[in-house]
Structure 1
Amino acid sequence: MNVATPFTTMTTSQTVDAPSTERILENLSHPVLALNAEGNIVYANSAAEASFGGWVIGLNIRDLFPGFAPASANVAEASSLVLVTKKDVAYDATLTPLGSAQFVLDLRLSTGPQQLTIVPDLDDLTGLAKRNMFMSHLTGAINRDDSASVAVHCLDLDRFKMVNDTLGHGIGDLLLKKVAERLTGACRKGDIVARLGGDEFVVLQHEVREPADAEKLAARIVDLVGRTYVLNGHTINIGVSVGVAMQGDFTQARDILRNGDLALYEAKRAGRGRYRVFEAGMDDLLHKRREMEIDLRRALALKQFELHYQPILDLSNDTVIGFEALLRWKHPVRGNVPPLDFIALAEENGLIVKIGEWVLRTACLEAASWSDGMIVAVNVSPLQFKADTLLETVASALEKSSLSAERLEIEITEGALLDDTDNVLQTLKALRELGVKISMDDFGTGYSSLSYLQKFPFSKIKIDRTFVASANADSEAILRAVAGLGTSLGMAITAEGVETAEQLARIRGERCTHVQGYLTGRPMAPEMISSFLARPKPHQ
């Protein structure tokens, strides 16, 4: 068979990523090796294993051919090489490039001519192995007759998307390269680091003789990847969540990788910037998550959602000027399901768009019965902007409820502005033209909040509760700066999460205009609003 035939018309990505590629390689009668940039073998087909007398993945090409001397230090850029002897077999070879994707070695052995195809399997950006070759290596590792086990570490970068979208893809690419370098540096020689796509990485750890070996590496990865990066003058802080799965009783590569993904999900659910080791109970958690997703899909149709309202207090006269609508799920079996348990899931599966539409319509209808001038604030998900129906939904909700637009306040987070910023800003401007107020929620927690204040004139900015809860000098400086900024721009400033008299006094001192929190009023059912407004407030 002419070795060039199967590859001549393939690009590098086709060679690696096409679903049938591995089957094609396995069916070839001549040896095929895939190498990374350093010449380490990350894949070998059956013919290659037979030719070289056994498992060769993990070896360097120089282990097979001690005289391997490419013209370039990078195998992927090599154009010529010289081979010397291995054992008693004399090798002489000519390296023939096939485009930029593969190389063919025409070997002349004492037993006759042979051809070997070398396919560099590199992620173009980081130089790491890609998924198919990683899975081949994992399969081979768990099939070895060895007393040591292996561990798989599934990684997902925390806050990478925000960095990529706010600072640009160029900085994002540089960051991925640096992450790849740190991951490689954290591992031992022989371990395999691969990039599965985007900001997803995976590490195959060899010689894991006890669980502590895997946990040590996971902790080292969390520490190294989480350290500060300085790229093109930008100081960047991200983190990494890691899910660890060990070989144990599992003999299939896909099962180990799946368990690593389950552990990764638990690490992210626990707060990110940490690792979790797979446990049998995680299967149950995944099952419960699927059950909750089914229940969540039913909740709208069965009218299980309701809104509670938290007062917004104007500090200039200690008067309640309106309420923020907060979503509640009253499940017939689970009882009251906390928003933290289902909002993220609704975001993941897209249900938040329908739920958000219901929230807007219901909040407008219920607010229409309040005293004249009382505002209602409604949080809007970034996905509602992507659905391109938000403007229509708001206009319809105002019309059907007869609520004046000036009494509706839309709250958005910086996340709404990260994707397709121009389109989002156009929608926000159209909402302002209707008369709707626009507020930026969780101000101070993102990367580029200040730049957004330049692009769009918000009616209000809300200081995140973390700055209110902390009484240290840094938090006070941020409160003072944000309040001063809002005043100079003619914006109202709301401090969230006020729970103590001391916090309220501090907020007053920093010139914030409004507050929300348990001290001034807990979330309440709509029927309780009238009695709440009628009674004296303990903070007055």
Structure 2
Amino acid sequence: MPGRNLGADAHHRGGRPETPRPDTGPQGFCESCGSPTGGDAEALRAGESRFRAAFSDVGIGMLLIGTDNLVIEGNPAFAAMLGRESADLPGMHVRDIVDPEESSGRRYRELVRGERERMSAEKRLKHRGGHEVWGRVTASLIRDGRGAPHCTLVTVEDITEQRRLGDRLAYQALHDPLTRLPNRTAFYERLESAFKPGDQDRPGAGEEPRVGLCYVDLDGFAAINETLGHHVGDQLLVAVAARLERGFAHQDGRLVARLGGDEFAVLVTASDGDRQLTDLAAELMEALERPFEVAGHRLTVTASIGVVERPVHGSTPTDLVRDADSTLYWSKSDGRARWTLYDRDRGADQLTRHLLATALRPAVERGEFLVEYQPLVGLADGTVHGTEALVRWRHPRLGLLSPDRFIPIAEESGAIVPLGKWVLEESCRQTRRWLDEFPDAEAFVSVNLAARQIWDSDVVADVAEVLARTGLPARLLQLEITESDLLGPGGRPLQALQALADMGVRIAIDDFGTGYSNLAYLSRLPVHTLKLDATFVEAFREATPGADGRRAADEQIVGAVVQLAHALGLTVTAEGIENAAQVERLRLTGCDTAQGWYYARPGAPEAITAILRDQRR
């Protein structure tokens, strides 16, 4: 009843504040004492009787509070909320009824002073039995006949069950139903809070706030699910969560959460440095390595842990989680059952790899690649018999990248398929130009072929299409595949290479001697050339044969391989030639062709054109 006026004279209250009365206007009250006059008095008494009946019988809690914060009167409904009788309420201080809370307390004080007419808040009530009761409280100011604050009429709706339901829903939203640990949502809320100014878990003034994270993944958990069943796996997760929560959650500034599957996180929102986090990771590993008794099974598990620790300033929650995920991956790839601390240089390299992987396919479409050529020279006559095509990437920001920077990434991502096809077509088209200008040279081109090109595309159809489009005879195309790719498990590579050989395309085994080296395969493979790895050619570096025992053995190996290859009708190419001594001694072994910086570094097509033109003279 905000704004209502009450008579100010105490003799009309009979020793207690009177219940609010309807406003009958100034003409209905005595000017000296403020009492109602005539028929207005009777109407007022009737209205007061009705109000008092409603005040007592209404199901919602109601009470009147004076400006001194003492209860004047409360109805039975409100008394029941507190586990009391109505007679207990008059004279109680407001702080004995509700928990004080600064924001609503400030508004209430403003109301008592007459600075506002109404306020609402949800408040915890103090039940006589000690249990929790919540009420939706609405307080309205009642003024006296002069307009001054007289008392406050408060209505209270019991919302305890609604609060409990809300609390249950909030708990379910923020906790994992299996392990009861905080879930991913709760983890990210706490993490975001750690990066906000004024976070309560941060160190004192003058100290730079820091945050740390141990990202935990159980090793071999999938095998437990597969062999013992998911019910055992779930019980193991519950046991792991209980051990983590018991040992690591009850410390200031820490949160233990389950992020999903067999992944857990321990967040430290007031870290004091790398040492604290690495010590924590070691403790986590030790705790998890103790055996678990689960469903009649004694299970021993290990964990891989990624550790990140850094100042809050200059970082973001996204950065922290991304780097923790990368570091966990490093722990897994380095052998599992270990923790790994984030290394910025390693992270930068991984980021570069990711950026390159993302940009590879668009770069092919944008024409950012080029092909350089290195001559393959006959050791018997010193002329160019062919070239090897080597792709380069003209990256717009990183400059010219050699194949070792991006080919492994291309193979991992599958971008090697469109890139390889582009290199094949560009090389065949250039070789056709050389054939047209130097028909007597019959220089072939050797193009590297990745195993994934065989598995992920119809390489036979691709080669046939390129040869038809460029007009290059099949005999002038050589495809190089590494020994391990060629001789590994599965029959598809052999079938594809046989089909290519049947078309007239030459097949070369690259880096021969570094893979399986199963010589029995050579008689059954569709191979024309063996390319000796440069490590074997090092034995021929000096002019004097057999400079030491190892070199002497390598010389004998090379000689034996050349003889065996020739017996099988294969040619041999030596890679990595750096000086004339190597050329001469390899020639004496019968090796057919060679390539290396001694002859020429990989270069633009014009460099090969110039060499072929000189040979013609």
The Cα offsets for residues 122-174 of structure 1, whole Å up to 9 and x where unpaired, read as 9xxxxxxxx988644x6499999999644799xxxxxxxxxxxxxxxxxxxxx
Matches within 5 A, 1:44-443: 100-101=228-229, 135-136=263-264, 139=266, 149-150=277-278, 192=289, 204=304, 245=307, 257-261=324-328, 278-370=342-434, 371-372=438-439, 373-417=442-486, 421-443=490-512
The equivalent residue for 2:566 is 487
* Match for residue 598 of structure 2 among 507, 519, 523: 519
Q: 1:359 to 1:193 in 2, by over 3 A?
A: farther
Question: Counterpart amino acid of 1:291?
Answer: L
Q: 1:351 to 1:145 in 2, by over 3 A?
A: closer
Tell which deviates more after alignment, 400-409 or 497-506: 497-506
Is the 8 Å Cα contact of residues 322 and 375 (structure 1) preserved in structure 2?
yes
Structure 2 unaligned segments of length 5 or more: list them: 1-174, 182-222, 241-258, 292-300, 541-549
1:478 Cα deviation after fit: 2.8
* CA distance, structure 2, for counterparts of residue 433 and residue 355 of structure 1: 25
The equivalent residue for 1:535 is 614
* CA distance, structure 1, for counterparts of residue 352 and residue 459 of structure 2: 32
1:453 aligns with 2:606: no
TM-score where L is the length of structure 2: 0.48
Q: 1:287 to 1:436 in 2, by over 3 A?
A: same
* CA distance, structure 1, for counterparts of residue 615 and residue 334 of structure 2: 45
1:435 Cα deviation after fit: 0.7
Is the 8 Å Cα contact of residues 313 and 514 (structure 1) preserved in structure 2?
yes
1:305 Cα deviation after fit: 1.5
What secondary structure, in the 3-state scheme, does the structure 1 residue paired with 2:507 have?
Answer: strand
* CA distance, structure 2, for counterparts of residue 438 and residue 189 of structure 1: 54
Q: 1:344 to 1:192 in 2, by over 3 A?
A: farther
Is the 8 Å Cα contact of residues 375 and 608 (structure 2) preserved in structure 1?
no
* CA distance, structure 2, for counterparts of residue 260 and residue 152 of structure 1: 15
Question: Counterpart amino acid of 2:537?
Answer: V
What secondary structure, in the 3-state scheme, does the structure 2 residue paired with 1:369 have?
Answer: helix
Q: RMSD across aligned C-alpha pairs, in angstroms? A: 4.7
* CA distance, structure 1, for counterparts of residue 236 and residue 352 of structure 2: 46
Question: Counterpart amino acid of 1:26?
Answer: T
* Match for residue 505 of structure 1 among 584, 595, 604: 584
1:26 aligns with 2:93: no
* CA distance, structure 1, for counterparts of residue 453 and residue 588 of structure 2: 37
What secondary structure, in the 3-state scheme, does the structure 1 residue paired with 2:388 have?
Answer: strand
1:277 Cα deviation after fit: 5.3
* CA distance, structure 2, for counterparts of residue 479 and residue 464 of structure 1: 10
1:296 Cα deviation after fit: 2.4
1:449 Cα deviation after fit: 4.2
Is the 8 Å Cα contact of residues 532 and 572 (structure 2) preserved in structure 1?
yes
Tell which deviates more after alignment, 449-458 or 323-332: 449-458
Is the 8 Å Cα contact of residues 375 and 384 (structure 2) preserved in structure 1?
yes
1:489 Cα deviation after fit: 1.3
The Cα offsets for residues 357-393 of structure 1, whole Å up to 9 and x where unpaired, read as 1111111111112233211111111111012311011
1:324 Cα deviation after fit: 1.0
The equivalent residue for 1:50 is none
Q: 1:286 to 1:148 in 2, by over 3 A?
A: closer
* CA distance, structure 1, for counterparts of residue 509 and residue 524 of structure 2: 13
1:394 Cα deviation after fit: 0.7
Which has more radius of gyration?
A: 2
What secondary structure, in the 3-state scheme, does the structure 1 residue paired with 2:178 have?
Answer: helix
1:505 Cα deviation after fit: 2.6
1:293 Cα deviation after fit: 3.2
* Match for residue 478 of structure 1 among 524, 546, 557: 557
* CA distance, structure 2, for counterparts of residue 188 and residue 117 of structure 1: 19
Question: Counterpart amino acid of 2:370?
Answer: E
The equivalent residue for 1:226 is none
What secondary structure, in the 3-state scheme, does the structure 2 residue paired with 1:300 have?
Answer: helix
TM-score where L is the length of structure 1: 0.54
Q: 1:143 to 1:437 in 2, by over 3 A?
A: same
Q: 1:344 to 1:152 in 2, by over 3 A?
A: farther
Q: 1:419 to 1:350 in 2, by over 3 A?
A: farther
Is the 8 Å Cα contact of residues 134 and 192 (structure 1) preserved in structure 2?
no
State the percentage of identical aligned residues: 31
* CA distance, structure 1, for counterparts of residue 376 and residue 238 of structure 2: 61
What secondary structure, in the 3-state scheme, does the structure 1 residue paired with 2:598 have?
Answer: coil
The Cα offsets for residues 201-260 of structure 1, whole Å up to 9 and x where unpaired, read as 97558xxxxxxxxxxxxxxxxxxxxxxxxxxxxxxxxxxxxxx74667799996675242
Question: Counterpart amino acid of 2:365?
Answer: A
1:340 Cα deviation after fit: 1.5
* CA distance, structure 2, for counterparts of residue 487 and residue 522 of structure 1: 28
Alignment size in residue pairs: 349
Is the 8 Å Cα contact of residues 501 and 526 (structure 2) preserved in structure 1?
no
Is the 8 Å Cα contact of residues 495 and 512 (structure 1) preserved in structure 2?
yes
* CA distance, structure 1, for counterparts of residue 582 and residue 599 of structure 2: 11
What secondary structure, in the 3-state scheme, does the structure 2 residue paired with 1:446 have?
Answer: coil
Is the 8 Å Cα contact of residues 152 and 256 (structure 1) preserved in structure 2?
no
